[in-house]
Amino acid sequence: MTDQILLVRTSPRLPAGLLSADGWDALGRGPVYAQDPDGEELALAVRAAGIAVTRLNVPKPPGGGLLAASPDATAARALRTIAATTGGVVVWLLRPEGDAGLSAALADLAGREGGVSIEVVVASWDPPGARLLDAVAVLDRLRAPGGCPWDGDQTHASLAPYLIEEAHEAADALAAGDLDGLREELGDVLLQVLFHSRLAEEIEDDDHRWTIDDVAGDLVDKLVRRHPHVFAGLEVSGAAEVHANWEQLKAVEKGGRSIVDGVPVSAPSLARAGSLVARAARAGLPTPVPVSLPEQAGTFEGLGAYLLALVVAATQAGLDSDGALRAAILSYAEDLRAVEEEKAS
């Protein structure tokens, strides 16, 4: 007869008693043991469900010195003995860290002696996004007393340059088609989101304090609200109508704010100009009269070369091309505000 040792593994990121059917079934197949039944959350949850959890009393191995069995090997032997004397099955509640030493000792025991099988029963799984909880916990540790002095000194203002820098680095990786690099850079962007949220959580004023959960909650509400074709049964003809509905819903939410207010002032000048013109066109507002591009600028590469040539010409003439574009954007933004005010009156 083969003895069975069932190792019950759960996600430390879920409530301890939230177990799968396989998990509860495993707990009923034999006596349940744990290293610390009075302190481990899983053991306490199992006890609360009416299932006894016993501490494993491991006898001290005879003798000593280099030939003495390790505590994990002795515990593995004790579990097998229990299985053999209680119907062939014993259950062990793994701690969140996994009890690697005991698991290895059990595998070694099964390999050397036979007659025993080791089965890991996954009683709960990490849901998608579970590692975000770990990221929040790590940042909390960095900001807590005794954490990192540099992280502890940061403010919203001191972190602002990093938010912009990391976003640009992510965009560079995307433009280069470097998906591995993009993954890393998005982690840095995520760090900024978590960091600013942690700082906001420390604000003493209740009216201005918020957390990462508020950030995520606002995002969920916005996505649901702006996708009525997914969450409210609205019929749409395609992506163009989805985009139009998005802009209309956004305008209602903003309560009559100018389209100019939605274009980041800190954005690069070319990107800001393109966004402003596109928003104006969608809103039916006037756009600057376009100039005819020379034939060589009719492709992506050609346009880039043409713009670079304009910068070269401006530099040779002693002109600040970026400053000139920013001034033109400001003037155009003022014109748009005037048109909006005229329409509203």
User: Residue range 150-170: average pLDDT?
Assistant: 94
Nearest to 3, CA basis, from 112, 85, 58, 108: 85
pLDDT classification of 69: cutoffs 50, 70, 90: low
Judge if pTM exceeds 0.75.
no
The predicted pLDDT at position 92 comes to 95
- Going 219 to 220 to 221 to 226, the CA torsion angle's sign is positive
Angle at 192 between CA 187 and CA 196, to 5 degrees: 150
In the β-sheet with 53-55, what is the strand arrangement from edge to edge? 53-55, 32-34, 89-93, 3-9, 116-122
For the chain, percent of residues with pLDDT exceeding 70: 96
Q: Alpha helix locations (H) across 129-254? A: 130-143, 149-153, 156-175, 179-201, 212-225, 228-231, 239-253
The predicted pLDDT at position 301 comes to 92
Which DSSP letter does residue 127 get? P
Nearest to 195, CA basis, from 140, 236, 113, 233: 140
pLDDT classification of 67: cutoffs 50, 70, 90: very low
User: Residue range 96-103: average pLDDT?
Assistant: 87
Q: What is the mean pLDDT of the chain?
A: 90
Cα 345 versus chain centre, distance: 45
- For each of the domains in the chain, give its residue range(s) and CATH number, in order of start: 3-122 (3.40.1010), 130-217 (1.10.287.1080), 257-344 (no CATH)
3-state secondary structure of 249: helix
The predicted pLDDT at position 71 comes to 85
Q: Residue 12: pLDDT above 90?
A: no
User: Residue range 130-140: average pLDDT?
Assistant: 93
The predicted pLDDT at position 66 comes to 44
- CA dist., res. 261 & res. 256, Å (int): 11
pLDDT tens figures, 276-314? 998 888 888 899 988 889 988 999 999 999 999 999 999
User: Residue range 326-343: average pLDDT?
Assistant: 90
pLDDT classification of 263: cutoffs 50, 70, 90: confident
CB 93 within 8 A of CB 86: no
Q: Measuring CA to CA, how many Å separate 182 from each of 36, 166, 167, 319? A: 43, 11, 10, 36
Q: Give every CB contact of residue 89 below 8 A, 6+ residues apart in sequence.
A: 3, 4, 5, 6, 29, 30, 83
Q: Residue 64: pLDDT above 70?
A: no
Residue 274: count of CB within 10 angstroms of its CB:
13
Q: Give every CB contact of residue 142 below 8 A, 6+ residues apart in sequence.
A: 148, 151, 152
